[in-house]
Amino acid sequence: MDRVALRGLKARGHHGVFPKEREEGQTFIVDLVLGLDTRPAAATDDLARTVHYGVVAEEVVEVVTGEPVDLIETLAERIAQRCLKHEGVQEVEVVVHKPDAPITVPFDDVTITIIRSRA
């Protein structure tokens, strides 16, 4: 399976369990690796035979800026399911970064990584 990766997609969302997170929001960063067979597109040089990563990026931002959820696990799952709706995408790895998580000690980042595939 071939891989198309999008790294560092940024969007402001209102996800989290604390009222401040819901009210003020924060930046979330998403990395994606889409698994698909790119041979048909390469053989024909046809965008319609692969995944349009620009559209995927816009859809991921819609999910992040959309309906708030408590957990980044839920956010990652919603992003994965949206990616799998694209014809040809057989698998997706989603990493959601929450660099401004409400943690009381110094830290660089909090992430969740999930891998989902068509059943």
CA distance 79 to 95: 10
CA separation for the pair 74, 68 (Å, rounded):
10
The single-letter code of the amino acid at 94 is V
Nearest to 63 by CA among 105, 28, 114, 87: 28
Closest listed residue to residue 110, CA positions, set 67, 69, 72: 72
Contact 112, 95 (CB under 8 A): yes
Alpha-carbon distance of 28 to 26, in angstroms, equals 6
Q: Which two tokens stand for residue 68?
A: 């708030």
* Residues labelled as active-site residues: 98
